[in-house]
Structure 1
Amino acid sequence: MKANEQGDAFGAWLLKQIKREDWIGTLAVQAKADSRFRAVSTPEELRKRLQEAGAEGDHFEALDDAEIEWLSE
């Protein structure tokens, strides 16, 4: 399991962002609603899931931003 400096897996970190009022918060809400999403999910796994779901470019941009923020914490 890949973790940031705080020891948080990406999926667990993302779920903590659910109350944000930005694209990352929207991504977190969608991830929580997805029965296939797990707290140990990696950015790569979520990127693949978005591709399978036919997500738009904004979703990938939000995921990129979330990954950068997660790694910086």
Structure 2
Amino acid sequence: MTETSNPASYLAKRETYGKWLLAQRDRGDWVNDLANAARADRTFPKEGDPEAVRAHLRKQQADSYVFQAVDDAEADWQSLR
């Protein structure tokens, strides 16, 4: 079976949410702003899933609009599955 026909192997190689978010640039939306802030944060969970990012942002006492950006970014990231 080739890797492209094996969903488990595809998901195993899939980029983490944190890494995907860090790579978002020049989008012109608030996900772009979130990504800029994440790149500036040395403790950002780049290997994390969306919940790890939310937990990190709660510790940082982020505003509610930041969590809306996380939700939007997660929807985009999930659409790549």
Normalising by the smaller structure, the TM-score range is 0.7 to 0.9
Q: Deviations over 1:24-67 (max 9, x none)?
A: 00000111111111431211111011111111110000001101
Tell me what 1:9 maps to.
16
The unaligned stretches of length 5 or more in structure 2 are 1-9
Q: Percent identity between the aligned chains?
A: 39
CA RMSD of aligned residues (A): 1.9
- Are the equivalent residues in 1 in contact too, given 2:31–2:72 (CA < 8 A)? yes
Provide TM-score, normalisation by structure 1.
0.83
Query: Which ranges of 4 or more aligned residues in structure 1 deviate by more than 6 Å?
Result: none
Aligned residues between the structures: 70
Q: Would you tell me which structure has more helix in proportion to its own residues?
A: 2
The unaligned stretches of length 5 or more in structure 1 are none
Kindly indicate whether structure 1 or structure 2 has the higher relative contact order, using CA contacts under 8 Å at least 6 residues apart.
Answer: 1
Larger Rg: 2
